[in-house]
Amino acid sequence: MSRWLLGIVLIAACGHGKSDATGPGPSESGCEPGRCLGDISRTIGEHKADARACFEAGRKNQPKLAGQLVINFEIDAAGNVVDTSQGMQEGQLDDAGVVSCVSDVVKKIKFPPSPAGKSTRGYHRFEFAGR
């Protein structure tokens, strides 16, 4: 059975275009419409088929490929994803093609603009398993 778990999105910064180590708390205070944890998770979830296609393409070369992939990203004030990178967690998928492809999927996602002109940093954990 195919499993693709949406994962968890964590906002690392929601303030004034700079990184804020505290970020929003459990109540998501300080986040802007469309940039709260649930909003970002839902928006990325709308593109899960595209991310899954990246994984399936990687499985053609590595049939036993499975696991998680963490993508860090930054959303600029206009709502564009301007930077992505693979997270530093151990045990992630190491297929460069899959990482690049999923990063490109995230870069194409459009989020709502920030009324306050803020950038938002976050990450998303993709979980992939074979069928």
pLDDT at 89: 84
Confidence (pLDDT) at 24: 37
pLDDT at position 91 is: 85
Q: Is residue 25 part of a domain?
A: no
Range of the domain at 52: 4-15+31-128
Whether 24 is in a domain gets the answer no
Entry pTM: 0.76
* pLDDT recorded at residue 28: 52
The CATH number given to whatever domain includes residue 118 is 3.30.2420
* Residue 86 contacts residue 99 (beta carbons within 8 Å): yes
Residue 50 lies in a domain: yes
The SS3 assignment for 119 reads coil
What is the rounded distance in angstroms from the CA atom of residue 69 to the CA atom of residue 86? 7
Number of compact structural domains in the chain? 1
Q: What is the pLDDT of residues 29-45, one digit of tens each?
A: 678 888 998 999 999 99
Could you tell me if 5 and 129 are in contact, meaning their C-beta atoms sit under 8 angstroms apart? no
Residues of the chain with pLDDT under 50: 1-27
